Each structure stands twice: as C-alpha cells, then as structure tokens.
C-alpha cells in the first residue's frame, strides 16, 4: 500500500471521528493494519502533523483535540478566504460547472430527517468543493478544503440531529446567487453561512 493511500485513509478516519480526538496513534499497530513497515507510517504521520490533523505529545502522536479556540481561529481565516473564493467562483464558473452545481441543489431535496449527519455534512462538502474548484485557484482550493474538513470534525462530534432543510438553506441561496451572478448576494450569503455554522458548533445559535 502506498503512502498516499495510507494518508487518505487516516485523514478520513480523523475527519469522521473513527479516530477520536486525543487518541494515541501507535506506529506498530498502524504498520500492521496497513501491511507496511513503520517508516511509511511515520512519514504519513509527519504529513498529517504538518496539516494539524495530529500533534506530538511527548514521544507519541495524538489526534488533534477539538477546542472552541481552534474553531474560532479557523473561522477568522475562513471568513476572509471563502468569501473571495465564492466571488471568484461566481466570476469564473463554466456553464458545465454551473449546471453541475444546480444538479447538486436539486439533490438536496433527497435528504430528510432520517438522513445521517455524516451523509449530510459530506454532501455539503461536495457542494463547497465544486464552488472552490470553480474559483480557479488551486492553492486557495486546497487551503479551503482543509479548513472545511476541520469543521466537519466539529459537526460530527455533536450529538444533535442535523435538520437538512435548515442546514442546506444557505447553500441553496449561495448556489442561486452564483448562478445569477449576484456578487452582493454571494458575499452576504457566505458571511451569514459561516457565522451560523460556527454558532451552531458553539451552541450559541
């Protein structure tokens, strides 16, 4: 198994809380799980550490804890970067990408009260990913996808059931604003969406 596959697998486990925050990562156990030596595992862990998915605690690697201070800092960055990315997406989106976005909007109706939280937030990430890609800035897309994935850990850590109608309401508004070329609408909707997201996570909404 190559290092990229191991990286993707461990990152997914962290994002989806299969590896709990603050859990210790054992190199020998991971090497056995993936059928490789300890060396590629350690290389992957160093990459995950650089992206702040894990951190060192003494001689061990642990999954990065969830903290409100961390989400506050991420939100400050997201508030600047995502607004600009969405505006660029509106300006640079191709007809094919716009059609794809509108198709995703139609699929939102397939979610209901019985839909699991993970499927809801994963689909929300797919919508964001299409928009970020349309911005035509690979570096910005990579940074925003990482930020959004950190948000997912907080969403999935909550015991409450996500109401898809409420959860996706701002995504619908954003897609409509992008499709209409409404820059003020894109800006307003993005800011409101980010503020509401962090308020939900912090339990202040």
In angstroms, the CA 70 to CA 67 distance is: 5
In angstroms, the CA 106 to CA 92 distance is: 22
pLDDT of 34 higher than 90? yes
- DSSP class of 115: S
Rg (CA), the chain: 18
Topology of domain 68-202 in CATH is: 1.20.120
Listed in order, strand segments (DSSP E) in 7-120 are 24-25, 54-57, 60-63
pLDDT of 203 higher than 80? no
Q: Is domain 3-63 given the CATH code 1.10.150.120 in the classification?
A: no
pLDDT band at 41 (very low <50, low <70, confident <90, very high): very high
| Contact call for residues 103 and 153 (beta carbons, < 8 A) | no
pLDDT band at 58 (very low <50, low <70, confident <90, very high): confident
pLDDT of 135 higher than 90? yes
Biggest CA-to-CA distance, the chain: 54
CATH 1.20.120.530 residue window(s) in the chain: 68-202
Give Cα 104 distance to the centre of its chain. Answer: 17
Q: Which residue has the tokens 């503020």?
A: 195
Mean pLDDT of 164-183: 96
pLDDT of 37 higher than 90? yes
| Contact call for residues 174 and 183 (beta carbons, < 8 A) | no
CATH 1.10.10.10 residue window(s) in the chain: 3-63
Q: Average model confidence (pLDDT) for the chain?
A: 93
pLDDT digits 0-9 by tens, 106-126 = 999 999 999 999 999 999 999
pLDDT at 100: 97
């Amino acid at each position: 198994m190559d290092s990229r596959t191991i990286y993707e697998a461990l990152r997914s486990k962290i994002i989806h809380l299969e590896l709990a925050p603050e859990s210790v990562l054992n190199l020998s156990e991971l090497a056995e799980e993936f059928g490789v030596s300890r060396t590629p595992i350690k290389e992957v862990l160093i990459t995950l550490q650089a992206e702040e998915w894990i951190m060192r605690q003494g001689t061990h690697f642990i999954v990065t804890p969830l903290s409100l201070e961390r989400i506050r800092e991420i939100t400050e960055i997201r508030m600047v970067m995502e607004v600009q990315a969405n505006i660029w997406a509106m300006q640079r989106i191709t007809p094919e990408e716009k059609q794809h976005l509108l198709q995703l909007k139609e699929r939102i109706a397939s979610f209901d009260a019985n839909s699991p939280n993970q499927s809801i937030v994963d689909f929300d990430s797919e919508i964001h990913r299409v928009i970020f890609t349309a911005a035509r800035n690979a570096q910005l897309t990579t940074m925003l996808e990482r930020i959004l994935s950190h948000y997912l850990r907080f969403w999935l850590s909550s015991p409450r059931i996500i109401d898809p109608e409420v959860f996706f309401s701002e995504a619908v508004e954003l897609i409509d604003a992008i499709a209409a070329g409404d820059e003020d609408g894109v800006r307003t909707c993005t800011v409101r969406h980010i503020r509401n997201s962090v308020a939900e996570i912090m339990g202040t909404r």
